[in-house]
Amino acid sequence: MTSTPPAPPRAPRPPRPPGNRPFGNRPPGNRLGLPASASRHRPLIGAHLIDSLGTGLVLAFTLVFFTRTTDLPLTTVGAAVSAARLLALPAAPAVGPLIDRYGARQVAAWANALSALAHGAFLLADRSWLIVLVCLLAQAGQAGYWTASTGLVVLAAPDGGRTRWFALVQTLRNAGLGLGGAAGALLVGDGGAGGLRLLVALNAASYLAAALLLARWRPEAAVAPTAAPAEPTAEPAAPAEPAAAAEPTKPAADEPGGYRTVLADRRYLLLVLVNLSFVLASMVLSVLLAVHVTAALHLGAPLAGALLVLNGVQVVLTQSPVSRLLEGHRATRTAAAGAVLNAAAFALFAVLPGDGPRRLVLPGLVVAMLVYNLAETVATPGREELSVALAHPARRGRYLAVNQLSWNLGQALCPGLLTLLFAHGPSWPWLFLLAASLAAVPGLLRLERPRPAVPDIRSETGPSARR
């Protein structure tokens, strides 16, 4: 009797390549557009969130704090705060060489510590010169932190994927500012001067907590093993810009040039000039929106507050998913698309009639705000990526300081400029912002020449770019 030999064991099915994984089986963070390395950099995420939360606590209440806790008139307090901001303009250029020498992490930690000291000193400032001093220190701390913050993203994502990190930072900033602003309004409304003092004390504590988180963050210890790619793709990716995970070991002071080299880089100066249009656009929320809603459209101030809440909620919920959808496009194209969307939003704001029926004005106002918010989510990651990728690695701190200077100048000059235009007619500031946004588009497209110097998001994520 013969027996049938046993069938050979079936070979195991080869695993499905990561890039061909069905959409439903991909990690939830990937579907949401979150960076794959986010879980390994919790101290950095916590520092960004806490810093923004503290900033939101007092962002709208600085003038209110000094007028309620001192005997000084509002005009004196306003002049002191403006003087402090103008005096703080050199802070960003001063921080650039420190970043190149000591690294972005240490500078950001010390900047937060300075902000904690400054806001703690708010409680002791009862003279105009003291207000100038403490606001100067606070503004210098803020300028130092945000100049170094882009370098923190480079440390967290040394081998690519920075656009997702920039999107996450923007989301954390909006969430923190929104939560902080809501908590600040609650404390001010219930506590009077005591609530304001508690507000400032909590803000100082938040900056100190953020400084401690950055001090204990070790980005080089959190780099993922190279055996498994963090962002799987279906086809090989182009080489990403080389960068080191650890802090720079060679001081940039030994490098030739310095700021003279940065100022001679015409491509980067063009980027800084283009960035100024986005700075002007960002000032709509703090300078122009409430004035336009109340004085030009004759609507209630609570509506302006609701539009600010809409901005925060929309950016928090959509920033990372929108950035994921745009990963196949060049950074120059996404930033240019954001500028065009800004121009469309400003055109809508400009044509809203002040004496029109509410049933038409209210929907138009909401649509304009939705387009404005979309412009922010589309433009921010690509614009931040350009500021890093076009900078020389050995002098990145100085490059980022020059870029930050556009923010400091815009924030100092924009309130007077936009209100002056508004005094000549409610449509003029919107038309000016529209023209500035459209002027940024050819500048961004010009950055694509020469081609090898253009940061391409597809080099970080794999899929070929769509044109």
Residue 157 banded pLDDT, cuts 50, 70, 90? confident
Of residues 212 and 25, the one with the higher pLDDT is: 212
Q: Over range 346-355, report the average pLDDT.
A: 91
Is pLDDT larger for residue 234 or for residue 262?
262
Q: Which pLDDT score, from 0 to 100, does residue 240 have? A: 36
Q: What is the pLDDT of residues 360-419, one digit of tens each?
A: 899 999 999 999 999 999 999 899 889 988 988 888 889 989 998 888 888 778 878 888
Task: Say which range, 93-97, 207-211, 307-311, 438-442, has the weakest mean pLDDT.
Answer: 307-311
Q: What is the mean pLDDT of the chain?
A: 78
What residues contact residue 231 under an 8 Å CB cut-off, 6+ apart? 30, 36, 160, 161, 460, 461, 462
pLDDT (tens digit, 9 = 90+) per residue, 267-284?
Answer: 999 999 999 999 999 988
- In this prediction, what percent of the chain has a pLDDT beyond 70? 77
Q: What is the pTM of this model?
A: 0.71
For 175, 353, 366, the CA distances from 310, given in Å and listed in that order, are 12, 22, 9
Neighbours of 14 (CB within 10 A): 6
| pLDDT tens column, 24-68 | 444 444 555 566 666 678 888 888 888 887 777 776 677 778 888
- φ and ψ of 456, to 5 deg: -120, 120
The H-or-E segment that residue 424 falls in is none
Q: What integer pLDDT is reported at residue 30 of this predicted model?
A: 56
Question: Which residue, among 432, 380, 343, 423, has the nearest Cα to 164 in the 3D structure?
Answer: 380
What pLDDT does 428 receive?
A: 95
Residue 237, CA distances (Å) to 6, 320, 420 in order? 46, 21, 50
Distances (CA, A) of 233 to 237, 445, 465: 8, 27, 13
Give the integer Cα–Cα distance in Å for 98 and 416: 32
- Nearest-angstrom CA–CA distance, 346 and 368: 7
User: pLDDT tens for residues 427-437?
Assistant: 999 999 999 99
Average pLDDT rounded to a whole number, residues 131-144: 91
Strand partners, 330: 456
pLDDT of residue 91: 87
Q: Average pLDDT for residues 350-369, to the nearest whole number?
A: 89
